[in-house]
Amino acid sequence: MKRILFIALAAVILVPLMVIGIDMFRDPASEHASMPVADTAGQLKRGEYLARAGNCMACHTERGGKEYAGGRAIATPFGNIYSSNLTPDRETGIGTWSADDFWRAIHAGKSKDGQFLYPAFPYPNYTKVTRADADAMYAWFRTLPPVQQANKQHELRFPYNQRILLAFWRTLYFTPGEYRAEANKTAQWNRGAYLVQGLGHCAACHTSRNALGGTVAQADLAGGMIPMLNWYASSLTVDAGSGLGDWDARDIASLLKTGVSQRGAVFGPMAEVVGKSLQHLSEEDIGAMTTYLKSIPKADTAPAKGAVRVSGDTEAVLKQGAKLYEKHCVECHKSDGTGMPPAYPPLAGNHSLSASAINPIRIVLNGGYPPSTAGNPRPYGMPPFGSALNDEEVAAVVSFIRTSWGNKGDVVSPVDVGRFRGAFIE
């Protein structure tokens, strides 16, 4: 009996130590050496483009702060994580980092000193970036004006503030490895897959996560809640009921490049992605991403909806919602919900309205604008109705929209509206 207890105790102690030790000393980044570059000017230009594709500035620039100097708070269910300084300042930035150090962070999720990086930095996606592309980004970051701005300490609750425990998270949810082209696919498809899976890190938002922050279904892009932002990222699969299956490729490309299309417009966090990143990509790369997105298979499980059914007189709720829609919404979105795209997006057959009630609730409460882009420099916006409508009225009009014109959403509750009144997107 004592021997069994001893073996069990040893296993409890040794297995965690082995997990930590293996991950600490394993260095998959060392398998890919940097290659000499003849065209340094071309490398720098490419590095700037790739940094745009990865949307690095959005996270690594504090509102009102210097570009890429870090300090922006990234809210997570475990506390706030603050982005780091990417300028070449030698004391507070990456001025003392080598190309190998930068590659290790991108590819293996480890800092210059070997510490595990928190996956708010999307290295589980960036690991697919090639060594040549990582070197180009590093070379370009080295040309930025150095900004002396110390990195802020993360504000994480115990035990999440113990970095060493990330070894276990990484064992469960992180597999380092560059993107490998699929031989039976076209060059355009592979380019799109590389961008969507890697620098675009689309799965970081468009895939559901579990209580530990790990992706639930191996980055299936079937949609999911964005933690702590109270926003639902819609499905990117070919599911015609909730994803992009019945979208024309031109509309997908337009949405990615300009923020608006004949089928819908981007709001919330995605507006920032389009405005600061995707609009700067070439037409060829946007087309490649579109080709890949049109091939993502339907997920086995439907995404969870963000609201609950209400009890009581549903018919009365929908009649109230119809009257409110007629009063406040019909001028732009029309009586049949077809809208006037691309200025005013259609509500009829709008999958993003059916998948979760959170987005329409927040848009009705707070309004919003698509991003200003080169292809749509003066976007039309949605005015806020939070001060004009109470929770019951917002619930009624959202319920009407989600159950009309072919939409298959549920009726929502005033309680759901109250949860998001006052919530905002940075």
Identify whether 79 is part of a domain. yes
Tracing tokens 């708070």 back to the chain, one arrives at 73
Last residue of a domain, which of 259, 293, 327? 293
Bridge partners of 61, per DSSP, are 70
| pLDDT reported for residue 355 | 84
Report the CATH number at residue 332.
1.10.760.10
Q: How far from the centroid of its chain's Cα atoms is residue 87's Cα? A: 23
Please check whether residues 319 and 362 belong to one and the same domain. Answer: yes
Identify whether 1 is part of a domain. no
Give the Cβ contact number of residue 221 at 10 Å.
25
The total number of structural domains in the chain stands at 3
Identify whether 115 is part of a domain. yes
Please check whether residues 266 and 324 belong to one and the same domain. Answer: no
Going by C-alpha positions, the residue among 356, 364, 58 that lies closest to residue 222 is 356
Identify whether 7 is part of a domain. no
Residue 152 contacts residue 82 (beta carbons within 8 Å): yes
Tokens standing for residue 113: 């000193």
Q: How far from the centroid of its chain's Cα atoms is residue 4's Cα? A: 47
Please check whether residues 245 and 329 belong to one and the same domain. Answer: no
Residue 109 CA to residue 132 CA, distance in Å, equals: 17
| pLDDT reported for residue 6 | 45
Please check whether residues 154 and 37 belong to one and the same domain. Answer: yes
Residue 37 CA to residue 207 CA, distance in Å, equals: 37
Residue 285 CA to residue 277 CA, distance in Å, equals: 12
| pLDDT reported for residue 307 | 46
| pLDDT reported for residue 36 | 82
| pLDDT reported for residue 324 | 97
Please check whether residues 157 and 228 belong to one and the same domain. Answer: no
Tokens standing for residue 39: 């065209």
Whole-angstrom CA distances from 4 to 1, 8, 303 are 5, 6, 45
Q: Structure pTM?
A: 0.89
Classified as helix, coil or strand, 127 is: coil
Identify whether 55 is part of a domain. yes
Residue 124 contacts residue 109 (beta carbons within 8 Å): yes
Please check whether residues 39 and 165 belong to one and the same domain. Answer: yes
Residue 108 contacts residue 123 (beta carbons within 8 Å): yes
Please check whether residues 322 and 393 belong to one and the same domain. Answer: yes
Helix (H) or strand (E) holding 73: strand 73-76
Tens-binned pLDDT, residue by residue, of the chain (426 aa): 555 544 544 444 444 544 455 544 566 656 667 778 889 999 999 999 999 999 999 999 999 999 999 999 998 999 999 999 999 999 999 999 999 999 999 999 999 999 999 999 999 999 999 999 999 999 999 999 999 999 999 999 999 999 999 999 999 999 999 999 999 999 999 999 999 999 999 999 999 888 888 886 656 899 988 877 788 999 999 887 778 888 999 999 999 999 999 999 999 999 999 999 999 999 999 999 999 999 998 876 554 444 445 445 788 999 999 999 999 999 999 999 999 999 999 999 888 888 889 999 999 999 999 999 999 999 999 999 999 999 999 999 999 999 999 898 889 999 989 988 876 555
Residue 341 CA to residue 292 CA, distance in Å, equals: 25
Identify whether 331 is part of a domain. yes
Please check whether residues 136 and 253 belong to one and the same domain. Answer: no
| pLDDT reported for residue 14 | 44
Please check whether residues 380 and 266 belong to one and the same domain. Answer: no
Residue 112 contacts residue 18 (beta carbons within 8 Å): no
Last residue of a domain, which of 173, 200, 221? 173
Residue 282 CA to residue 48 CA, distance in Å, equals: 13
Query: For residue 267, what are the domain limits?
Result: 187-293
Going by C-alpha positions, the residue among 344, 358, 348, 360 that lies closest to residue 408 is 348
- Could you give the angle at the alpha carbon of 126 between the alpha carbons of 279 and 148, nearest 5°? 80
Give the Cβ contact number of residue 155 at 10 Å.
14
Residue 201 CA to residue 106 CA, distance in Å, equals: 12
| pLDDT reported for residue 218 | 59
Q: How far from the centroid of its chain's Cα atoms is residue 336's Cα? A: 32
Identify whether 10 is part of a domain. no
Classified as helix, coil or strand, 264 is: coil
Identify whether 371 is part of a domain. yes
Tokens standing for residue 12: 């409890």
Please check whether residues 193 and 150 belong to one and the same domain. Answer: no
Residue 270 CA to residue 261 CA, distance in Å, equals: 14
AA identity, residue 43: Q
DSSP 365-426: HH-B-PPPBTTBSS---B---TTTS-HHHHHHHHHHHHTSTT--PPP--HHHHHHHTT----
Last residue of a domain, which of 239, 261, 293? 293
Tokens standing for residue 273: 């992605």
Please report the sign of the dihedral spanned by the C-alpha atoms of residue 167, residue 171, residue 176, residue 179: negative
Please check whether residues 327 and 211 belong to one and the same domain. Answer: no
Please check whether residues 198 and 264 belong to one and the same domain. Answer: yes
